[in-house]
Chain A
Amino acid sequence: MSALHIKKGSTKHSAYNLRPNFSDTRERHTITVLVENEPGVLARVIGLFAGRGYNIDSLTVAEVDHTGKLSRITIVTTGTPQVIEQIKTQLGRIVPVHEVTDLTVEGPFVERELAIVKVVGTGDKRVEAMRLAEIFRANVVDTTLNSFIFEITGTPDKIDAFADLMRPLGLSRIARTGVAALLRGE
């Protein structure tokens, strides 16, 4: 470099990790945002993503602290490292946001998603669906003579795999909650 002895884009740690070596590869990040549960706060978060052209792969939100009126929003998003950095700092700018955590960076973390899956069929296919559901530890929560509704919890990958297997066996509808996630340990 120059006489300045500073490597361009060096990744030395500072209060904010502001010196990333930006690459063009798109990464999937799970970000949790602790927000004041006031009217319109979800609209602010979604509006930020829409207005600045960021992706939302999945989003979940619910109040987690009734006395403190705090909600946790879990967002799964995809983007280049520069975009991911922007998403985090832009989220941090929203006034009712208390805390932004990038679980993918801060990890390891646990993530779970719940899905309910309706499979319609009779005969062998119905038996096979039941057998596979057992392997995936999916519970039957409703049944008729020619349909099941399974409830399955797991990582998004596991749910994808289950849905793929159910498709030829008569998968008719699926509802997914999106990811909820927390850091491991203390």
Chain B
Amino acid sequence: MEAGIPIWWISLLLPLFVGLYGLVDREKGKPLAVLSLIVLLIPGAALFYYWITGAVTSAVVDPVKIDLTRHGIGVFYLFVDGLSAPIVAGISIVTALVALYGLKYMSVRIEEMREAGETPPGIGVYYFLYNVFALSMLAMALSSNLIEFYFFLEVSLVSSFLLIAYYGYGDRRKISLLYFIWTHVAGALFLAGTLYYGINAGSFDIVKITSSGITYVSPAYTVLAASTKIAASLIIIGLFIKMAVFGVHMWLPYAHAEAPTPISALLSPNLIGIAGYALARFAIPLFPGIFQSLRDYLVILALTTIIYGGLVALRQTDFKRFLAYSSVSQMGYLLLGIATLTSYGIGGAMLHYLSHAFGKAVLFMTAGVFITELHGLRDIRKMGGLARAYPLTAAAALLGFMHLVGMPPTLGMWSEVLITIGVMKAYSTLSAPGLVALALALILAFGVSAAYAFITMRRIFYGQLKDYLKELGVKPGYEVFDYFKAVVLLVAIIGVFYFVAISPVMASLKPASELVSSLLAG
């Protein structure tokens, strides 16, 4: 269905205008934070409306499109269907609430940097880059065309690079450069594969939009024949690096740990997960045969990523680095769902994007609460017993961890259920020993996630207050429940809300996932 107003273009342009206003008035954060909150929530609110009315089931397309067919590029649409709906919702809700959260965090951060004799750009610049970053991720999720997707990918990389370089921690110039190079290697591989395919095909469109809904273009081997493998490997490896699966994950712990925390809260769940979405949206429809031949390897890679990321996370002493490894592990779940090549698995992966977005954003924001209020405290070894001082933050963090582990009443349960069904469907022909082995592998993977989540919950929040904290004056009732912590709890509660209100999400996810998996059947 075509939307009555250019809702998705509005969703992209309003944050840009708010951001530009930040460049004009660089030192006033408050109006920028509130405006960003409002404009970034627009796509999420619109989407909720389309979910309720059922319009998402067929796809909601923006009436404004950019037709570049004459140049051999194709058409740039902005649209949302059941597959991208969880992605759009996740980006919109998280970026909006983190924008508000960032007001206090970044004011403190910039103050702190200035006291240290550094000259970071003012908070207006932060909100400019922040809004550009947010809208570029949103645009990636709305894209119908590979070049369109790539363009916004670049925008997101440059804006996030600058955010890390300006406001990051540690050796931030080196780390931002490291981030820049890694993500551009990924981007360049993706672009090379894309160009190779698109120039031969005469168009970079992946999705054809008609009045009745969307269809996918023919698989790449119809135009590339024997060279399909080259294009496929370039695109898939590029996306794997962005997604940080085991082996090419090494950039992520640096970047996500040292970015300013509100940006970590966007990088970790929102940005890297888009690579998973792109696998389902672009890579599978283009290269169904290749995915089928790689299925078992990808499932093993996914399980390895889950277990490896989880176990290495357990050894981290830095809260944010711990969360970064946890993100690696969570990307394993996305890949696991996608690698099953079943509709349940693919849908589950998209839903897991949303639950991870809520959960990980909550946890990064929790880390940020302590960094802001406890003099930059990030070392887990110095934490302990914080639940009595910060009961509501602890409650939010528990809900955040439950999202990752997949426990009701959080949205995580639904993605866990879908991914499990997907795995069992993919391997429905196993013999008895195979079934037992698969069950053990799943139990191990899910068990490691629960272990790192709840062991870390204990290390940070339970036990007696550590001496270090006592010296800071932390005691029961220390927590002041201001907007800063309220948004943390709110994101967690939205995750619970989606757990209950799952019906419309599932209704639209089903046909979209089945459309992707049907491409694999032939």
A and B bind = no
Residues of A within 8 A of B (CB): none
Binding site for A on B (CB under 8 A): none
